[in-house]
Amino acid sequence: MAPKIYFKTILVFLNVILTLSSVVATSTDPFYDCREPACFILDNGRVNRIYVEENIFGNWNLATFCHRGQIKDHFGIWINPVLTIFKRNQDQEISYCIGKNLTEVQKKEKYIKVDEYISLQAFESSCVGILSVKPYTVQFKVINPDVLYIAYVIAGIFVFFRAPQWSRNLLVHYVICVSVVLLASGLLLIYIRQLNLQQRLVSDTDMLMLAGVSPSLLMLQWMLTPTQDEVQDNRQHFGYNYMLVTGLISVISAYRFAPMTDYRSLNLLQWMLQIIGLALIYNGTQIAEASAAIIIMVVSAYMFPATQLQQRLRYIFLPPESRFLTEEEYEEERDRETEKALEELRQYCKSPECQKYKVISRLKSPSRFASFVNGGDHLSDTDSDVDDYIMSDDDYHSHSDYSHLLSRSNDDYDNGYDNTHFSHV
Domain boundaries, the chain: 39-145, 152-284, 350-424
Asked if the peptide bond before residue 37 counts as cis, ω within 30 degrees of 0, the response is: yes
Per-residue model confidence (pLDDT) at position 171: 83
Predicted confidence at residue 53, as pLDDT, reads: 78
Judged by DSSP in three states, 49 sits in strand
Residue 146: partners with Cβ closer than 8 Å, 6 or more residues away: 78, 79, 80
- Phi and psi, residue 137, nearest 5°: -125, 135
Quick check: 48 and 42 in contact, CB under 8 A? Answer: yes
pLDDT given for residue 347 in this prediction: 87
The pLDDT profile of the chain, 425 residues, written as one tens digit per residue, is: 444 554 455 555 545 554 544 444 344 566 766 777 778 888 776 777 888 877 666 677 788 888 887 777 777 788 888 888 888 777 778 888 888 887 788 787 777 777 788 888 888 888 888 888 888 888 888 888 888 889 999 999 999 998 888 888 888 888 888 887 777 777 776 777 666 555 544 454 454 444 444 444 444 444 444 444 444 555 566 667 777 777 787 777 777 766 677 788 888 888 999 999 999 999 888 888 888 888 998 888 888 776 666 677 677 777 777 778 888 888 888 889 988 988 888 888 888 888 877 888 888 778 888 888 887 776 766 666 655 655 554 444 444 444 444 444 444 444 444 444 433 33
Strand 95-99 with 126-132, pairing = antiparallel
Question: Could you tell me which of 199, 367, 168 has the C-alpha nearest to residue 176?
Answer: 168
User: Quick one: pLDDT at residue 222?
Assistant: 47
User: How far lies 38's CA from each of 42, 53, 106, 241, in Å?
Assistant: 13, 11, 11, 45
Per-residue confidence (pLDDT) for residue 218, from 0 to 100 = 44
Q: Give me the pLDDT at residue 287, please.
A: 84
Quick one: CA dihedral 250, 256, 261, 265, positive or negative? Answer: negative
Helix (H), strand (E), coil (C) string for 83-94: EEEEECCCCCCC
CA distance 88 to 422: 101
Query: CATH topology for 39-145?
Result: Jelly Rolls (2.60.120)
Distance CA 354, CA 239 (A): 72
